[in-house]
Amino acid sequence: MTSSSGASRRQVLAVAAAAATAPLIAAAPARAAGSKKGPKTWDLTVLGTSDTHGNVYNWDYYRDAEYDDSKHNDVGVAKLATLVSQIRAERKGSATLVLDAGDTIQGTPLATYYAKQEPITSTGETHPMANAMNILKYDAVTLGNHEFNYGLPLLAKWISQLGFPALAANAVNEATGKPAYLPYVIKEIRLGGPGAPSLKVGILGLTNPGVAIWDKANVEGKLIFTDMVESAAKWVPVMRARGADLVIVSAHGGDSGTSSYGPELPNENPCTMIAEQVPGIDAILFGHAHTEVVEKFVTNQRTGAQVLLSEPSKWGQRLTRMDFILTRERGCWKVVSKRATMLNTNTVVEDPAVLAAVRGQHTKTVSYVNTVVARSTVELSAAESRYRDTPILDFINHVQTEVVTGALAGTAYAGLPVLSIAAPFSRTAVFPAGDVRIRDVAGLYVFDNTLEAVVLTGAEVRAYLEYSAKYFATLAVGAPVDPATISDPAVPDYNYDVFSGLDYDIDVSRARRPADHPSGPARHRHPGRRRPPSSWSR
């Protein structure tokens, strides 16, 4: 087995790429030089990461190989650390802050192993993401919704292991009504060498209110998640009153203004709204949507000020760089200019200190995920699971049906038919012919979802099917079906569910019937055609 820390051909090429791009990195905004023709200026650089999702090494645990996607992206905190070190070295003597916008401790078998197989709450071992991020020396991290996946005790343990604050202003203790976590920090930094003036930077953390739904079992009765816009409006004036000269929001929510759930919770992706509605914010580092937004300016509706926004993709593939030029007027700091650029981690090699800090945990995880757990007589692929009955998706529904049926035995619900629902999360998952390993199974369903049983009426089942069918594009009668374009691009694969335990058809040519759904009325057209298996019917 090849170690990801070895000097692979791609890493050798990355060294050359890093050398070639070094002059570009060095050409960033000048340090506090000032000018004879204008007021003296100083500069500040803020680096941002988000949605690292348990990635430390540039390693694909599901393929047991160095990570490489179709666009040749790399992943991992070790890669991010190299870029951060380069920029800190370039700016030696000048102020540089490093922030993260959340979703850190879930997403890879490495993270799962130290949450479930050897949980840090039981062993006392330092979480690999704490080991890695402490080497990088972040200034603050915001809690993302996936931080709550493994329960509040594990989250608290991870936070205690960090060498920097974890923020979430809108996560409120239900019993006391007070913030459950640190809402913000104000860092006083010196802009230059000895004798240079200091600047107070306020950093506000906002987590996603969807936690109340997605991790209800872990937070119900314990935490309340308030609206991100309202929370920003509450805390930004407090930070300004306490001396913050510059305010940066680190928010785990996208900028689209949309939500994957209904009106029962505050908006899931409100960062544009925060910039528009809350005065006093200079910049927003955001995450959650896993998109790359290099630089976006939003005008605040009350002050007319331009708020800078940036999102650094996912998994450590990108590093946001925000550069601020400041001057002092009548004893107060004023932002002269601000801009954002994006750095790609595939231009550098992994930081050896980060690799060393997590090597033992990485090696143990690689060994674990290569454990053989089953045998398959043929290869089973998920490539066509979106639009065709496939045994690999049947496998998920079969296991879920057996588990729930067993749990209902001896209860009042034992006589009810059990239907199972699964989503085609992956288009690339494969169970090979022969030995099936933990990594094969984990690659099929990468999220640690909670299995729940819900009693439904026949009408509710039909409504669920109608709602799920919005995934498919509508086609004319007799039109050819192209698997590449059969789905609505606005609906991700994981929002399409396949039922087992009953037979049904979805007609791609018919308009959808209005149907009630837990997220509100479904007013989409009824597309698609598939017949899930009935072999597990009860």
Domain spans of the chain, in order of start: 9-367, 371-500
Q: Among all chains, which residue has been given the structure tokens 């594990």?
A: 154
The closest of 107, 112, 104, 155 to 134, measured between CA atoms, is 104
Residue 325: is its pLDDT beyond 70? Answer: yes
pLDDT for 404 beyond 90: yes
Q: What is the mean pLDDT of residues 325-348?
A: 96
Domain 9-367 in CATH 3.10.450.40? The answer is no
Mean pLDDT of the region 452-470: 93
Determine the Cα–Cα distance for residues 71 and 93; give it in Å rounded to an integer. Answer: 36
pLDDT, mean over the chain: 88
The yes-or-no verdict on residue 7 having pLDDT over 50 is no
Contacts with 69 (C-beta within 8 Å, 6 or more apart), sequence order: none
What is the layout of strands, in order, in the sheet containing 95-100? Answer: 166-167, 140-142, 95-100, 41-49, 318-329, 332-344
User: What is the reported pLDDT for 491?
Assistant: 81
Q: Is the pLDDT score of 12 beyond 70?
A: no
| Average of per-residue pLDDT across 165-194 | 96
Tokens of 460: 């509710």
User: 313 vs 208, 253, 287, CA distance in Å?
Assistant: 17, 13, 8
Q: What is the mean pLDDT of residues 65-74?
A: 95
Confidence of residue 450 (pLDDT cuts 50, 70, 90): confident
* % of residues, the chain, pLDDT over 70: 88
Q: What pLDDT is attached to residue 8?
A: 39
Q: What is the mean pLDDT of residues 239-268?
A: 94
Cβ of 249: how many Cβ atoms within 10 Å?
33
**Residue 129 one-letter amino acid:** M
Band of pLDDT at residue 512, cut at 50, 70 and 90: low
